[in-house]
Amino acid sequence: MRPIRIKLRVTMIVCVCHRVSDRDIAIAASSGCPSFEALQDDLRVATACGACRDCACAVFDESRVEGAGPRARGMVIVKPRMAA
C-alpha cells in the first residue's frame, strides 16, 4: 500500500485576543456571514485591541470571494483507500 501524501495549509491565528484563526473566519464567511460586523458579533474578532482588524477584514473578503470553505482554502479531508 502506497502512503498518501497530503499538503495541508497551515492555519494562522488572526486574533490573538480571542484566538480566532483564518480558518474560523473562512468557515464563517462561506457559511453565509453577511458582513464583517456580523463576523465580529459571532467570533468577537477585532473587538478587543483592534490590531488584527485589517488582517481579519482581508481574510473575510478573500474568503467571501473564493467561497472559501475549508476545502477551497487548501484543506482536504482524505480517507485512506482500502486495499482490494
How many whole angstroms separate alpha carbon 9 and alpha carbon 23?
10
Query: 54: exposed, middle or buried (C-beta count within 10 Å: 0-12, 13-18, 19+)?
Result: exposed
**Fold for domain 13-66?**
Arc Repressor Mutant, subunit A (1.10.10)
The reply to whether the predicted model has a pTM over 0.85 is no
Show me where the domains of the chain are located.
13-66
Please indicate whether residue 56 or residue 1 has the higher confidence score (pLDDT). 56
The span from the CA of 67 to the CA of 79, in Å, is: 23
What's residue 64's pLDDT? 87
8 or 36: which leads in pLDDT = 36
At 3 the pLDDT is 67
